[in-house]
Amino acid sequence: MSTYLLVSRSSEYEARLRTLLGSRLGVVTGEFLSFGADAVLDLVTETPRIALLGPVLNFEETRELTRGLVERYPDIGLIVVREQRADLEDWVDELSLHAVLSPVASDDTTRDLLDRLAGWLVTHGRAESSDFDDPEPDVVAEPEPEAESDAEAAVAAEAPLGPLPFADGASRNGHEPDEAAILATAAAEPEPEPVPAQPEWLFPPLDPSVRSEALAVIAPKGGQGKSTIAINLAAGLAPYAPNSVVLVDGDLQFGDITVALALEPTHTIVDAVAPEAVADELVLKTTFTHHPAGFFVVASAPSPELGDEIQPYSLGALIDRLRGIFRYVIVDTTPGLGEHTLSVLEHVTDAVVVSNMAVASLRAVRSELTLLTTLGLMPVNRHMVLNFSDRMAGLTVKDAASIIGTPIDVEVPRSSAVVLASNRGRPLLHDDPRDHAARALQELIARVAREDIPKRSRTPRRRRILEPQ
């Protein structure tokens, strides 16, 4: 029986509790919270007596879990596992908690808190003392070999801090202390029930024989259509690498990719570069937002101030980590060549350079390419995209190539369908795939994904050779 339930995004903390509680602990990993609190609660197959929520759960997630758990399990004891921060008092005031425990509390402190809460539950008729008895050694060794052999039992524990004591008899916020939470299922056990509940789109394994590719979409000025190119690259590559494409909104101050895709992210790039995500890949994965077309998005910072706090090296390190998870990593950068953009270029394999047909933009691209070449930061593969091509602009494609000083690889014609698709929150490739701009974008995708796009068998045609007269 799973007497205790843990809902957490930290594999290290999960391993610690498994060492302490063994088969009495049921676990639901935090990645299921992407589907909402109810989806997590539906995974609980037994009736836990004490639930621990955290670490690495935000306030909204914790609140929804506590509400759902209290409704389903009114007699459960609830502990929130969270570091002691300035906002901790607000959590205690607004949530129905029995206790708050530091994630780095010692094993003895954790056992003591669990024992005290168990005693309180028994005293108040909410549980039987037998519910907290240790199972016999035979029972533990035979039925649960798989649960103890999984990755969760192999992670090192963290060092301690003390927990906040729980109130004797009454909760901190004046509510009945029985308002608690539970979510569990031995996530480590490959039982038929938890496994089917796991979404199939979650992070397919990366073939070690296939090189991960990272593309930076850059432009010297704003208004070149850079974000539109990046969005459609992700949407176009997803069919060739399902759920193995991630789009990073690296425009840290005013990125709008989630708006253009009608997504409502619960986490952003600020969370993706936070210490918790750096230390734990599972936590990093929870910061992604999944798009129905089969790719992931790392949303931009929620405010310019938070975006400014992200260090350039953190952005570069994030790209390296994503390359270990995804086949394609696409980064929409901030216009110009600021420190963050330069850091991105140091960690990618391809640069997609975007410009419109304005002479000023074309000259700026030439200066940008010259500088990157001088600094040795130009990636090995470069794709020059002439966006918003228009015969009425007074320039030809050859003129544009002459100003830039390099050939144009892909010409994307101006189209009203681009704006319509963005206003509908859809990539152009999905909204109007027959549009002439969408077909041009497919050419760019074909350049990038040469190894993944199946070769078409064509009947060779006889060429007509014009001989000199």
Dist CA 124 CA 112 (whole Å): 18
Dist CA 341 CA 237 (whole Å): 23
Q: Is the pLDDT of residue 69 over 60?
A: yes
Q: How confident is the model at residue 136 (pLDDT cuts 50, 70, 90)?
A: low
Q: Is the pLDDT of residue 169 over 60?
A: no
pLDDT value for 62 = 86
In contact, 355 and 229? CB cutoff 8 Å: no
pLDDT digits (tens, 9 = 90+) for 385-439: 999 998 888 899 999 999 999 999 999 999 989 998 999 899 999 999 989 999 9
* Percent of the chain residues topping a pLDDT of 90: 47
pLDDT value for 297 = 97
pLDDT digits (tens, 9 = 90+) for 15-56: 888 898 988 898 888 777 777 888 888 888 888 989 999 888
Quote the mean pLDDT of the chain.
81
**Hey, what are 65's tokens?**
């879990």
Mean pLDDT confidence for 151-170: 38
**Strands 295-298 and 289-291, bridge-based pairing:** antiparallel
Q: How confident is the model at residue 133 (pLDDT cuts 50, 70, 90)?
A: confident
Three-point CA angle 153, 154, 155, nearest 5°? 105
Cis bond upstream, residue 55 (ω within 30): yes
In contact, 377 and 360? CB cutoff 8 Å: no
pLDDT value for 265 = 94
Dist CA 212 CA 214 (whole Å): 7
pLDDT digits (tens, 9 = 90+) for 378-387: 998 999 999 9
376 DSSP 8-state letter? T
Q: Between 250 and 199, whose confidence is greater? A: 250
Architecture label for domain 4-197: 3-Layer(aba) Sandwich (3.40)
Q: Is the pLDDT of residue 81 over 50?
A: yes
**Hey, what are 179's tokens?**
């308002």
Q: Between 95 and 169, whose confidence is greater? A: 95
**Is residue 255 exposed (0-12), middle (13-18) or buried (19+ Cβ within 10 Å)?**
buried
Residue labelled with tokens 């704006």: 419
Q: Which of 9-13, 153-157, 211-215 has the weakest average pLDDT?
A: 153-157
Q: Is the pLDDT of residue 162 over 60?
A: no
pLDDT value for 330 = 98
pLDDT digits (tens, 9 = 90+) for 354-378: 999 999 999 999 999 999 999 999 9
**Hey, what are 18's tokens?**
């498994």
Give the CA-trace dihedral at 423, 424, 425, 426, to 10 degrees: -120
pLDDT value for 1 = 59
Q: Is the pLDDT of residue 456 over 60?
A: no
Query: Hey, where are the domains in the chain?
Result: 4-197, 213-448
Q: Is the pLDDT of residue 306 over 70?
A: yes
**Hey, what are 422's tokens?**
């963005």
pLDDT value for 168 = 39
Q: How confident is the model at residue 307 (pLDDT cuts 50, 70, 90)?
A: very high
pLDDT value for 197 = 44
In contact, 426 and 229? CB cutoff 8 Å: no
pLDDT value for 316 = 94
Which CATH homologous superfamily contains domain 213-448? P-loop containing nucleotide triphosphate hydrolases (3.40.50.300)
Q: Between 251 and 46, whose confidence is greater? A: 251
In contact, 215 and 349? CB cutoff 8 Å: yes
Q: How far is CA 159 from the centre of its chain?
A: 27
**Hey, what are 386's tokens?**
């002439």
* Percent of the chain residues topping a pLDDT of 70: 80
pLDDT value for 186 = 33
**Closest by alpha carbon to 82, among 72, 74, 92?**
92
pLDDT value for 468 = 37
Q: How confident is the model at residue 180 (pLDDT cuts 50, 70, 90)?
A: very low
pLDDT value for 86 = 53
pLDDT digits (tens, 9 = 90+) for 191-246: 444 444 444 445 677 777 788 999 999 999 999 999 999 999 999 999 999 999 99
pLDDT value for 165 = 42
Please provide the size of the chain in residues.
Answer: 469
In contact, 330 and 303? CB cutoff 8 Å: no
**Hey, what are 69's tokens?**
């758990």
Q: How confident is the model at residue 140 (pLDDT cuts 50, 70, 90)?
A: very low
Dist CA 154 CA 330 (whole Å): 33
pLDDT value for 362 = 96
pLDDT digits (tens, 9 = 90+) for 344-354: 999 999 999 99
Q: Between 28 and 250, whose confidence is greater? A: 250
Same fold for the domain at 4-197 and the one at 213-448?
A: yes
**Hey, what are 326's tokens?**
């995804």
Q: How confident is the model at residue 448 (pLDDT cuts 50, 70, 90)?
A: very high
Q: How confident is the model at residue 154 (pLDDT cuts 50, 70, 90)?
A: very low
